[in-house]
Each structure stands twice: as C-alpha cells, then as structure tokens.
Amino acid sequence: MKSYQLNQIMLLWGIAPVVGLSSSTTTCPGSSLTHLNVSLLRERIAEGRVYQQPNFFSQQQIDDILAEIVQLKQDGVFAPSGLSNTARGAQQAFGSQDRSVCVVPWWSEMLLQNNNTVSPVSMLLQQLRLQLADVLDRPTMSDPTLAHECYYSWSGKGSFLPRHMDERHEELKGPKGWLLPSRRSLSWLVYLSDENWTLEKNGGALRSFPQQTPPQQPAQHDGNLQVGWLLRQRKAVYLNSWFLLSGSNEPHCILYTVEGNELRYLTRPWLAESLQGTSVAEFLNRMRDQDSSGLQTLFLDPDDARDFALLENRSAWDRGELPEGSIIEDICPTRGFLVVFDSVMLPHQVEVIKEGNRIALAGWFHEQTQEFPVDLFAQT
Ligand SMILES: *[C@@H]1O[C@H](CO)[C@@H](O)[C@H](O)[C@H]1NC(C)=O
Ligand SMILES: *[C@@H]1O[C@H](CO)[C@@H](O)[C@H](O)[C@H]1NC(C)=O
Ligand SMILES: *[C@@H]1O[C@H](CO)[C@@H](O)[C@H](O)[C@H]1NC(C)=O
Ligand SMILES: *[C@@H]1O[C@H](CO)[C@@H](O)[C@H](O)[C@H]1NC(C)=O
C-alpha cells in the first residue's frame, strides 16, 4: 500500500512548484513591525504552550477588520463550522448558536502577491509568517505557494469547540496524509471580540493543555513529527515512517526519542500494512496497554510502554479524561491580542461563551510535508 502511495506522491511532487525560499531573506527580527518578543516566543513554542502578545493590531486596523466582518456577515458569506478535523465528521447538527467562519477574501491574492494594493493588515500577517519561519527555524513556512489558511471566526453566546488537535503526524492522518504537499505548522489568532472581555463575565476561554513539565523538544525531529510523550522521562516521542531495515526496501514505522545527539528506539519496527485497518492511534493504544504488563510485543522496554502517552488520545478524551501529564492554561480572547501555538503539540478547546461575541482573524501557517528519503527511490 505504501509503495502505491509512493508512486502517487512521486507524481504529485513531479509537478509541484519548486519551493522558493528567497522571500524569507527580507525579514529582520530586530526591525520588525510585528514587535514579537522573540525569546519568549521561542520558549513558549518549545514548551508546547500558547504565546500571547497584546496590541498586535492598531485601533484603526481593528476598526477596518470589524467593518469588513460586519459586511461579510450581511452578505451571508459566513457559514457554520464546528471543526475541520472533528471526530464526528458530517454528523454534526449545526444550530444558530454555533461558530460561523468565512475565508478571508483577500488572503490568497495577497499570499501570491497578485495584488499590488496591499493593506497594512495583510502586510502585517505576511511579516508575521516570514518572521515566525525565521525565528522558529521553519524555513518552508516562508514559501507563499503552500496552502496557508486564513479565516474570520464569529461565535455568539452558547457556542464552544470540543477538545482537538489542529494537526497530526502524516501517518496518523490515514491514507491521504502523505499525499498533501503541506501541513499545518503554527496555529494563530488575533482576537477582535467585544471590548472589555473577561472570562468571568463572557467565558469563551481558549483552554489549552500543555505538559506540566515540558521537555522543550521541538515538535519535529529530522522531519519526523512528534506523536506522543514519555511522561516521567520527559521526552518527546517521534514517529519515523521511513525506517529501513537492512535487507528490506519496505519502509517501516518506528518510535524513538532523542537523548543528546543520540536516537533511542522505543519499539520494534512495524509495517503500516500490518495494522489491517485499525488506526495507528488505536494500534499504539493497544500495544501500550499490552506491553505495560511486560509482553514486549512492540515496545522494547515495559517501562517505556507504561510511560508512553499519545499526544491525541481520543478514546480517553471521549471518556472525559484530560490529556495525561497536562495542566490547564486558559487564554482570554482579548481584543487586539495575537496568540500563536504549535499545531501538532497542543490539545485545546474553546469554553462556552456566556455573553457577547467572540470574534477572531485566525489561520494556520503551513510547512512542507516531510520529503521521502532519496534512497527509497533509488531502490524501487
Ligand atoms: C520578553 O518576555 C520576557 C519574559 O516574559 C520578559 O522578561 C522580557 O522583558 C520581554 N521583553 C520585551 C522586550 O518585552
Ligand atoms: C487589492 O487589495 C485591496 C486592499 O486589500 C482591495 O481593496 C482590492 O479590492 C484588491 N484588488 C483586487 C483586484 O482584488
Ligand atoms: C470598556 O472599558 C472602557 C474603560 O473602562 C470604557 O471606557 C468602555 O466604554 C468599555 N467599552 C464597552 C463596550 O463596554
Ligand atoms: C490513553 O489514555 C488512557 C486513559 O488515561 C490510558 O489508559 C491509555 O494507555 C492511553 N494510551 C496512550 C497510548 O496514551
């Protein structure tokens, strides 16, 4: 199955536009218009927490955006939306209280610079993307041809969003995970909610679940995205989907941690085909429980099996449990505040709105999907 995917991807990549990174050289963190606190930003993102910054937009910019949003609402362009990656899929029944969203009309034109009349707001967002690419060392995020997303969001009294992740490892997304040229890298929002918003009066907190004692390891290692934690050992766990055993040209999956400059493999390599229809998450859940008692079916060391937790543990969350090892950090959707967090690392939800309108300009900056090891092509 994977070799079938490979062929498709090779085709796709054959026609994909060449990544132009030259645009990233135009940013200079020191002289930026966005005034990010770079050291704080780096620290918060590395810890898998939310970075917040007040007064991202000027009063004039806020007024202009709100005027555009009101116009778009009058034009009926907003549509109800729960989650783009909800577990319930199409089975949601939307009501008038649900969040509604609308793609920002000038976004793609502006990304590809088809429009010479650039508004200050769109300039600021481009600068934000380029600066984040630079200071967080995510170079492909500066490529304007990736599917960076941007939307307006409007939620009234009674609406909320259940806990979710904005992005996950390609292997965990099912068959189409590897076919997409890019993936969400950073989630960002600038809030435009009613003035003087408080969590007590208005509710609507962005409730995030960072680890209590985060290891400060990045969400990816060598292109392999994080899928979980070793909780007590305080390590990020990465999944390599392109692990080659000697004597086989079939790519295997394997979990590992990074300790100093060394990789430590936590599991035996397994073939994606061997899952036979169960999801990778269900498979890892089963193996963790089984190997915790000392079986070593997949995990090499029972202590690691017991210590392992998936970033996204759907079945436990559906039973009302909090993400293992996490604490709750509530963020107030205060007008003018920018928030940024890693799309892969941080479980989050939106608390019920008690009063008022919670409005945001929001989006995801993308990074390129992991490239396949060249030696795979050489052998096939
Ligand atoms: C950046 O954040 C750190 C940590 O909160 C703070 O100590 C520092 O003063 C901030 N720097 C600026 C320029 O605001
Ligand atoms: C170009 O951008 C400006 C400012 O955002 C907008 O008013 C104008 O309609 C855009 N032009 C086109 C052709 O989309
Ligand atoms: C928000 O608070 C400020 C300062 O207390 C006040 O001047 C303003 O009228 C308030 N705005 C609203 C919409 O309540
Ligand atoms: C998911 O959470 C449940 C309950 O906390 C736990 O028993 C299970 O081992 C977890 N699985 C993984 C892989 O994190």
Mean per-residue pLDDT, 269-275:
88
- Residue bearing the bigger pLDDT, 106 or 210: 210
Q: Where are the alpha helices (DSSP H) in the chain?
A: 2-15, 38-46, 59-74, 107-111, 120-135, 199-202, 280-292, 302-307, 314-318, 374-379
Decide: 104 and 119 in contact? Cβ < 8 Å. no
DSSP annotation string for 174-235: -GGGGTSSEEEEEEEEEE-PSTT--HHHHB--EEE--BSS-----SEETTEEEEEEETTTTE
Name the residue with tokens 């490979």: 6
CB of 37 closer than 6 A to ligand 1?
Answer: yes
Q: pTM to 2 decimals? A: 0.87
> Which pLDDT score, from 0 to 100, does residue 378 have?
57
Which ligand is closest to the CA of 123, given by its number?
2
| Calpha distance 366→176 (Å, rounded) | 17
Does the pLDDT at position 329 exceed 50?
Answer: yes
| Calpha distance 327→209 (Å, rounded) | 5
CB of 201 closer than 6 A to ligand 3?
Answer: no
Q: Which atom of ligand 3 is nearest to the CA of 195?
A: 13
Does the pLDDT at position 240 exceed 90?
Answer: yes
Does the pLDDT at position 17 exceed 50?
Answer: no
Which ligand is closest to the CA of 41, given by its number?
1
Decide: 325 and 229 in contact? Cβ < 8 Å. yes
Does the pLDDT at position 232 exceed 80?
Answer: yes
> Which pLDDT score, from 0 to 100, does residue 110 have?
83
Nearest 5°: CA angle at 312, between 310 and 317?
A: 110
- Residue bearing the bigger pLDDT, 123 or 257: 257
> Which pLDDT score, from 0 to 100, does residue 94 have?
54
- Residue bearing the bigger pLDDT, 179 or 309: 309
pLDDT band at 111 (very low <50, low <70, confident <90, very high): confident
Q: Can you read off the two tokens belonging to residue 230?
A: 């070793």
> Which pLDDT score, from 0 to 100, does residue 184 have?
97
Does the pLDDT at position 24 exceed 90?
Answer: no
- % of the chain residues with pLDDT over 90: 69
Does the pLDDT at position 86 exceed 90?
Answer: no
Q: Which domains does the chain have, with CATH numbers?
A: 3-206+328-368 (2.60.120.620), 220-319 (no CATH)
Range from 81-85, 312-316, 345-349, 356-360 carrying the lowest mean pLDDT:
81-85
- % of the chain residues with pLDDT over 70: 84
Range from 231-235, 356-360, 369-373 carrying the lowest mean pLDDT:
369-373
Protein residue with least CA distance to atom 10, ligand 1: 37
> Which pLDDT score, from 0 to 100, does residue 95 have?
54
Torsion of CA 327, 332, 337, 342, to 10 degrees: 30
Mean per-residue pLDDT, 33-57:
94
pLDDT band at 32 (very low <50, low <70, confident <90, very high): low
CB of 293 closer than 6 A to ligand 2?
Answer: no
Strand 100-103 and strand 149-155: the pairing is antiparallel
> Which pLDDT score, from 0 to 100, does residue 215 have?
92
| Calpha distance 297→280 (Å, rounded) | 15
Among 220, 213, 198, which residue's Cα sits nearest to residue 331?
198
CB of 54 closer than 6 A to ligand 1?
Answer: no
Q: Which atom of ligand 3 is nearest to the CA of 196?
A: 1
Mean per-residue pLDDT, 154-171:
94
> Which pLDDT score, from 0 to 100, does residue 374 have?
66
pLDDT band at 337 (very low <50, low <70, confident <90, very high): very high
3-state secondary structure of 129: helix
3-state secondary structure of 282: helix
Question: What's the CA-to-centroid distance between 290 and ligand 4, angstroms?
Answer: 11
Range from 82-86, 159-163, 181-185, 360-364 carrying the lowest mean pLDDT:
82-86
Decide: 227 and 169 in contact? Cβ < 8 Å. yes
* Distances from the Cα of 261 to the Cα of 222, 258, 264, angstroms: 12, 7, 10
> What integer best gives the mean pLDDT of the chain?
86
Question: What's the CA-to-centroid distance between 331 and ligand 1, angstroms?
Answer: 18
> Which pLDDT score, from 0 to 100, does residue 10 have?
34
> Which pLDDT score, from 0 to 100, does residue 11 have?
36
Name the residue with tokens 């007024």: 63
Among 63, 104, 48, 360, which residue's Cα sits nearest to residue 225?
48
> Which pLDDT score, from 0 to 100, does residue 246 have?
84
pLDDT band at 89 (very low <50, low <70, confident <90, very high): very low
Range from 150-159, 171-180, 195-204, 223-232 carrying the lowest mean pLDDT:
171-180
Decide: 350 and 160 in contact? Cβ < 8 Å. yes
| Calpha distance 183→45 (Å, rounded) | 17
Range from 103-112, 154-163, 212-221 carrying the lowest mean pLDDT:
103-112
For 65-85, the pLDDT digits (tens) are: 999 999 999 999 998 886 533
Mean per-residue pLDDT, 34-62:
95
Among 215, 220, 229, 218, which residue's Cα sits nearest to residue 266?
229
